[in-house]
Amino acid sequence: MRKLAAELIGTFWLVFGGCGSAVLAAGFPDVGIGFVGVALAFGLTVLTMAYAVGHISGAHFNPAVTLGLWAGGRFPAREVIPYWVAQVAGAFLAAIALLFIAQGAADYDLAANGLAQNGYGDGSPGGYSLAAALVCEIILTAGFLLVILGATDGRAPAGFAPIAIGLALTLIHLVSIPVTNTSVNPARSTGPALLLGGLALQQLWLFWVAPLIGGVLGGGLYRGLFERSAQRPDIEGVEPVPQRLPREPDKRRYDPAIG
């Protein structure tokens, strides 16, 4: 339950902070933060919450990350569905909170202003096609998993993984906000779509299918190419990494005559 609570809170923070920056701050007159600000906001949500609760749940906050970590041999299959439920619940609660705040402005209209929902075709900010959205989401999610698995590898510098992961998510948003409004996260897409309904809900399938495919591709690719063997011996069915034994200390006394 501690893990699931951490995932729910972390996903809430991601959706509330990331989508909130788009809904409340991106287009604010004269001082709006724009695409760059929204991209940075999403990256900062992951970075900050990864440091806050990453030691509890692993800081997935994303069903595609959870599935990708399973594909990469870092996560047990039995915990995938519970993590997904917690993540979607956190995203939905964040969308409710964001909508409540947004409606505090007299000129806000849900149908007209939206909740930073994802889409393709008529739902895409730049009018990009279904095929373009599908390929974009798969590639970016796969790349995200490569960064996550590499940054959390036992051979990587310790303590810097949240920074690399947060910056990777920022980069992903800088690329794909015009294409799909950036998902790479089925939970993040589901929360706003459930409240909006209509086109956002009709197109939601793509923002489950594409990120999950990308997550499995990224996780499998890293495991197959870069991971010499499993880093997590506590997961069922995974062989532990052979540990190099420390060299025995030299117990001979120093002899000045020999040096």
Total domains in the fold of the chain: 1
- Residue-level pLDDT at 31: 73
In a domain, 41, yes or no: yes
DSSP string covering 172-228: HHHHHHHHHS--S-HHHHHHHHHHH-HHHHHTTTHHHHHHHHHHHHHHHHHHHHT-S
Write the pLDDT tens digit of every residue in 177-207: 999 999 999 999 999 999 999 999 999 999 9
In a domain, 63, yes or no: yes
Give the mean pLDDT of 230-243. Answer: 44
In a domain, 173, yes or no: yes
In a domain, 110, yes or no: no
* Residues 189 and 145: beta-carbon distance below 8 Å: no
In a domain, 236, yes or no: no
- Residue-level pLDDT at 49: 97
In a domain, 238, yes or no: no
183: domain CATH number is 1.20.1080.10
Give the mean pLDDT of 216-242. Answer: 67
* Residues 23 and 98: beta-carbon distance below 8 Å: yes
- Could you tell me how many residues make up the chain? 259
Distance (Å, whole) CA 186 – CA 205: 9
Which residues span the domain enclosing 60? 2-104+115-225
* Residues 144 and 184: beta-carbon distance below 8 Å: yes
- Residue-level pLDDT at 234: 42
In a domain, 249, yes or no: no
Continuous segment of H or E residues that includes residue 37: helix 34-57
In a domain, 154, yes or no: yes
